[in-house]
Amino acid sequence: MADTLLALQKENIYSLMKNIWIVFVIALTINCETQAQNQHQYLTDRPYAVVLGIAQDGGYPHAGCERLCCKDAWKTDSLRKMVSSIAIIDPRSGLAWMFDATPDFAKQYNIITKEHGARLAGIFLTHAHVGHYTGLMHLGREVMGAKNIAVYAMPRMKIFLEKNGPWKQLVSLKNIHITPIKDKKEILLARDLIVEPFLVPHRDEFSEAVGYNIMGPNESLIYIPDIDKWDKWEHDIRYWVESNSYALLDGTFYYDGEVPNRNMSEIPHPFIIESMNYFEDLLDRNQKKIFFIHLNHTNPAIQKNSAASKNIVKNGFNTARKGMKFFF
């Protein structure tokens, strides 16, 4: 009888332990699934910047260019590159903001709305050179007939658009609403998404030239598609690289003398070769933050598999490519 009771007790204890283990495993599984769901939600809800184009103002291939640099691109659509632009996408609100309205605006707008499912809330302009604002024409009544799209512009840029046709018609017909911005004055897009413009030295025939510091909940990015030379700027670009998570910087030309029969001092930009030397003292982790963008049609780095592109990577840097995402 005692043996029977002992056996029953052991069986009950075993059954109890088994049930406790089952409950523990179920709870652990639920917790892991919840964590995975939260992590997925965190990743899918994070605002990000996406590269819409990487070429200089004239795009790639370049109008009138029949040299080797553009020859294959005229024949092969996959080699073509759109003009430099990025967009901020905020999945939480479904809104997007473009940086510059390029001659490729129609395709880039389609990327934002169709591929990323966002609604265009505004456009930040860097300056009044042809590749950076002329896409605004698509907002007019001849094309989209947009309603009060916010266009963020510095004082001279604002006056340029308001006083000169056909851009002033966009203002009078309320296709766009020009929102004035100031040097180092923050613009709040969301509670944890901030844009700050800052002046940079660049040919200013019609307007100021600015770069942008984009600050998100966890990471930040600087965008400078055009600047004359790094040492002409009152700020040390190396500090800005160290202080941000990503840096999309002017890489218009790869080397001096790249454009035949042209005095390149008339179109000043930091050559990529020059920039890599300028940044050589940065720590490796800071060099990796740098992505060269705004590449001229003559720049061999515009092609991903070129020797120039491989040399950039070899030296610890990167070249921006269409579709790249930078999460905030």
Query: Is there a single domain that holds both residue 11 and residue 160?
Result: no
> DSSP per residue over 93-143, as a string?
TTEEEEE---TTHHHHHHIIIIIS--EEEEEE---SSHHHHGGGGGGSTTT
* Average pLDDT in the chain: 92
Query: Is there a single domain that holds both residue 57 and residue 34?
Result: no
Query: Is there a single domain that holds both residue 292 and residue 183?
Result: yes
Q: Tell whether the model's pLDDT for residue 15 goes beyond 70.
A: no
Query: Is there a single domain that holds both residue 309 and residue 216?
Result: yes
Q: What is the pLDDT of residue 21?
A: 66
C-beta contacts of 299-308 below 8 A and 24+ residues apart: 299/56, 299/251, 299/252, 299/253, 299/254, 299/258, 299/272, 300/69, 300/254, 301/251, 301/254, 301/272, 302/54, 302/55, 302/60, 302/81, 303/79, 308/254, 308/272
Query: Is there a single domain that holds both residue 25 and residue 170?
Result: no
Query: Is there a single domain that holds both residue 110 and residue 9?
Result: no
In a domain, 321, yes or no: yes
**Percent of the chain at pLDDT exceeding 70:** 88
Q: What is the pLDDT of residue 10?
A: 63
In a domain, 45, yes or no: no
In a domain, 305, yes or no: yes
In a domain, 72, yes or no: yes
Instruction: Give the CATH number of the domain where residue 62 resides.
Output: 3.60.15.10
Domain count, the chain: 2
Q: What is the pLDDT of residue 36?
A: 47
Banded pLDDT at 22 (limits 50, 70, 90): confident
d(CA 71, CA 47): 38
Place of tokens 């800005």: 240
Query: Is there a single domain that holds both residue 156 and residue 22?
Result: no
In a domain, 43, yes or no: no
Q: Tell whether the model's pLDDT for residue 258 goes beyond 90.
A: yes
> What range does the domain containing 317 cover?
51-327
d(CA 3, CA 258): 96
Query: Is there a single domain that holds both residue 60 and residue 134?
Result: yes
In a domain, 132, yes or no: yes
d(CA 190, CA 188): 6
**Averaged pLDDT, 142-166:** 97
CB 300 within 8 A of CB 307: yes
Query: Is there a single domain that holds both residue 23 and residue 64?
Result: no
Q: What is the pLDDT of residue 40?
A: 47
Query: Is there a single domain that holds both residue 18 and residue 65?
Result: no
Q: Tell whether the model's pLDDT for residue 32 goes beyond 90.
A: no
Q: What is the pLDDT of residue 262?
A: 87
**Averaged pLDDT, 202-226:** 97
pTM, entire model: 0.87
The one-character DSSP state at 156 is H
Query: Is there a single domain that holds both residue 5 and residue 72?
Result: no
Q: Which residues pair with 120 in a beta bridge?
A: 96
pLDDT, tens digit, 9 for 90 and up, residues 180-206: 999 999 999 999 999 999 999 999 999
Banded pLDDT at 20 (limits 50, 70, 90): confident
82 or 41, which is more confident?
A: 82
d(CA 59, CA 79): 11
Among the listed residues 301, 275, 140, 128, the one whose alpha carbon sits nearest the alpha carbon of residue 209: 128
Backbone angles phi, psi at 163, to 5 degrees: -105, -15
Query: Is there a single domain that holds both residue 185 and residue 275?
Result: yes
In a domain, 317, yes or no: yes
